Amino acid sequence: MFNTPPKIAILIYSLAGGGAERVVSYLLPYIQKQGIEVHLVLMNSIISYDIPKDIPIHYIEKSEGDENGVLKLIKLPFLAYKYARLLKKLKITHSFALLTRPSYINILSQYFTKKTYKISISERSYPSMQYGYKNLQSKINNILIKYLYPKADQIICNSKGNANDLIKNYKIPPSKIEVVYNPIDIEKINKVALDSSIFQKDTFNIITVGRMDAGKNQELLINAIEDFPSVHLFILGDGPLKAHLHSSVENKNLTDRVSFLGFDNNPFKFLKGADLFIFGSNHEGFPNVLLEAMCCGLPILTTNCKSGPDEIMELEHPKTDDVMITDYGILTPVGNVDLLKKGLSYCLEHPAFLDNCRIRVKERIQNFEREPILESYVNYILKQK
């Protein structure tokens, strides 16, 4: 299809904190080291990850993160037109977009120029759940996914769960879909020095990382620790529910047992000092934070949300009415505070179980080593249609 050396454009909203953004921060230098010209295209000026200074950065807009949903929809054709013009100017041969809205723009770009490039997108959520809230935003996104996604040349999913969701609920042809798990920079994380200054020795320190929104459901974690006076919860992240979560902690008189650490692009220094990683998400594509916590040697207590945790933790027998114990930690049904408490209680009462988990997570994380996974990404992006 392409007679000239490949030129790859990577389109994403921003490089603010997040799993997809971290993947891009890994992909850019990797692609560059392969001798392939790569361009980063953003829609917001926030860059929280380190990337090579000589990689060109282009902006099709510089929007604010709290834009109105209707405005975002109206702007899609305009941004697709601008992106198409940029692709033509740069003579891009392969355009790769991550996250839902950049994926729409990537697909729509072909209607504003003679398509001479391969369009790949990366689905990193479980769409039927992410857009399953029956509101207008969900309805519009479901329509756009059903209409636009089949027009991409290729869809790279980061779990078998969200790949099956696209096939079953959006009728995407399986031939368009590839599954590539998220990469983890094990060597880099191992080099990070522990910062234990925030932890108290006489408490059981549990930590979570994630954007403060309804989907991540940090409120579930706050509710879960109420009955455990020896437990201190540390929350890393930022987002629209920040003020609400602070108020919830104050109203429950938990300010001395819940600490908000904000966003930090090096959470590993804190993860390494905790006793347990806890995660309450309602839905995921493939939660990077579980892999990062495992790389830091942390046992896991997580909701069994779709999708990712059951694949990561190799769960063999899912349950909806009880906790699920694995070699790497415990899974609980989504949104069930009582069973999350039961899982936390089990962890507190079985220190030998946690010790074994710390060994096993270090073994499991080797399956997500960065270099082989990045190689798979590039091979799929460059693969002939």
| b/e code 359-370 from CB counts within 10 Å (16+ = b) | ebbbebbeebeb
pLDDT at residue 1 tops 80: no
Confidence at 2, pLDDT banded by 50, 70, 90:
low
**CATH top-level class for 186-368?**
alpha beta
Separation CA 30–CA 40 (nearest Å) = 13
Taking 80 as the threshold, does the pLDDT of residue 197 lie above it? yes
pLDDT band for 265, please (50, 70, 90 cuts): confident
Q: Residue 92 above 80 pLDDT?
A: yes
Q: Architecture of 7-183+370-382 per CATH?
A: 3-Layer(aba) Sandwich (3.40)
Average pLDDT over residues 169-180: 97
pLDDT computed for residue 372 by the predictor: 96
pLDDT at 66 over 80: no
One fold for both 7-183+370-382 and 186-368? yes
For the residues of 327-351, what is the DSSP string, one character each? SSEEEE-TT-HHHHHHHHHHHHH-H
Q: Residue 147 has what DSSP assignment?
A: H
The identity of residue 315, as a single letter, is L
Q: Report the pLDDT value the prediction gives residue 68, as an integer from 0 to 100.
A: 87
Identify the CA nearest to 122 among candidates 79, 153, 146: 153
Residue 26 and residue 35: Cα distance in Å, rounded? 15
Enter the tokens of residue 313.
């933790």
Which pLDDT value is given to residue 364?
A: 97
Task: Specify the length of the chain in residues.
Answer: 385
In the chain, where are the structural domains located?
Answer: 7-183+370-382, 186-368
